[in-house]
Amino acid sequence: MPEVRGSFRSFDAAERFFRQKINLPTQRWDDLWQGQHARAFMAAGVARDAVLAELRAAVDAAISQGETLADFRARFKDIVTRHGWIGGAGDESDARRAWRARVIYHTNLRTAYMAGRWDTLKSFPYLKYQHHTLLNPREQHVVWDGLILPNDNPWWRTNYPPNGWGCNCTVTGVSEARLRAEGRRPDKAPAEVDGDPPPEWAYHVGVADQGRELADPALTRELGAQWTQMPGSSHRDFGRPDQVPIDTPRAQLLPEAIRQPAELRDAWDRLYGQSTTLRDPAGAEVIVSRQVIEHWLGQPKRLDGREKYLPLLRETIESPFEIWASFSQNGLGRVGVRRFYVKSMRLAGGKSVTLIAEVQPGGIWGTFNFFAGSRPQPRSRQGLLVYGRPQQSDGGG
């Protein structure tokens, strides 16, 4: 497979990998790092949601319908012409734009393919590295061609392909029987090579996407692993204020007296029904479901007063001051991304409160926290800024 072209054979796992990503507008190519790419779709310098959405649709067509690089370049040219986006780097030549289109096309198809392949490969005891680049091959990748290592060897954590820009290498699974039939023994893991893979590619896209199987006996000691925050930028890095502007709420709070399960369910149903879908200003859909309320009712300590703010959930998601994407990673290497919707509002009596709605992967609302005043905890405003409203109160929620 010297190149991914229109003959790219779509399969469910590759499509699933790509379609579960969220769109993240970015300013620089390195706004996302390593495994974060397994959970988010970006194109360097694309900070406009409409452009990113159209580029994503073009990539999806390439993955699911086998469209060629020529097809994608035609779509790319049309998008650029209509929106006037040129990557934030000033006027660019046709050759430069063709190069950009190729990078977006190749990177997304290769990562989707290899992430999808991991669904099958993870069941093999050994993996074989296969080099495929014909033009200008990386010497180190040629050296690794035919290398056989155990599936769980740490070397794969940083060298599972693609492991560089334009890398066409792949991996095949090797059974115990195949290893014996070939008269082979597992190889010794190669020594680390400075700069190969480049730091931005030194991750395992299959593991970052899915995590290893929890049923694997070797992982029993890791089952209690917690999700930890991955490094990200703070609100100050994006030029955002320490204090969130205070808006006037549109909805009224629930009465303090509503604490009984039946009353809370009824109040929720009047507001949102069993489930409803909201759309945020970045264009993403968020599903709010009564299942979250049922979870709260199963943990009485969660009924700490936050339930009275439920009528404000809609405007927190539909007209927030900021939306942040925060990446986390667990001990198994799996990467997840959550969105945090930040909004401050002035309540009766002149008091203000900052509300944080957390949305889980897949666009499912998960929890609702509140802080007195308009300076929320910093962890709610870090990672990647998906959306930021101009820095003044909107005056009306």
The answer on pLDDT for 90 being more than 50 is no
Share of the chain above pLDDT 90, in %: 20
Query: How many other β-carbons are positioned within 10 Å of the β-carbon of residue 48?
Result: 13
- pLDDT category at 223 given cuts 50, 70, 90 is very low
- The neighbouring-strand residues paired with 234 are 382
- The whole-number pLDDT of residue 99 equals 85
Give the rounded distance of the alpha carbon of 148 from its chain centre.
31
Beta carbons of 320 and 343 less than 8 angstroms apart: yes
Q: In whole angstroms, what separates CA 95 from the centre of its chain?
A: 30
The 10s digit of each residue's pLDDT in 261-311 is 888 888 899 999 988 989 888 777 888 988 888 877 776 555 667 788 999
Q: How far apart are CA 265 and CA 277, in angstroms?
A: 18
Full 3-state SS string of 166-213:
CCCCEEEEECHHHHHHCCCCCCCCCCCECCECCHHHCCCHHHHHHCCC
Amino acid found at 381? R
Cα–Cα dist 99/105, whole Å: 10
pLDDT per residue over 109-150, tens digit each? Answer: 988 888 888 888 989 999 999 987 666 677 888 889 999 999
3-state secondary structure 288-337: EEHHHHHHHHCCHHHCCCHHHHHHHHHHHHHCCCEEEEEEEECCCCCEEE
Residue 128, φ and ψ in degrees, nearest 5: -115, 130
Query: What DSSP string describes 136-172?
Result: S--HHHHHHTT-EEETT-THHHHHSSP-STT---EEE
Sequence letter at residue 277: T
Query: pTM (2 decimals)?
Result: 0.56
Q: Which residue has the higher pLDDT, 93 or 339?
A: 339
